[in-house]
Amino acid sequence: MVFVEAMREYEDRWVAIVESGGTETIVGSGRDAVEALDDAKAKGFENAVLFRVPPFNTTFIPLASQPVTST
C-alpha cells in the first residue's frame, strides 16, 4: 500500500521504476516518458521501467488482450 500512496505525488505523470530485492523504487518522473527516462538516466538508472500514473479522477479499464466474441 505504501507504493500506491507514493503514486499520489505523481498523478498524471510518467514515472521510471526500478525493482531490487522485491522493492520497487521510483527513480525518475516527467510530463512524458522521455522526460521520466532522462531523469532516471541522469541518476544512473539506465534500465528503468516506465509507467504512466493516471489522473485519479478517471476510471482505468484495460483492454482485453484477446478479442471478445459472442456466441
pLDDT digits (tens, 9 = 90+) for 50-69: 999 988 887 766 666 666 56
Phi-psi region at 38: left, alpha or beta (left = phi > 0; alpha = psi -120 to 50): alpha
Does residue 8 lie in a domain region? yes
pLDDT band at 42 (very low <50, low <70, confident <90, very high): very high
Q: Which domain holds residue 10?
A: 2-52
More reliable by pLDDT, 9 or 66:
9
Number of structural domains (the chain) is: 1
Does residue 59 lie in a domain region? no
C-alpha closest to that of 57 among 3, 15, 11, 1 = 11
C-alpha closest to that of 25 among 15, 12, 36, 38 = 15
Amino acid at 52: R
pTM exceeds 0.85: no
Does residue 69 lie in a domain region? no
Sheet bearing 23-30, strands edge to edge = 23-30, 14-20, 49-52
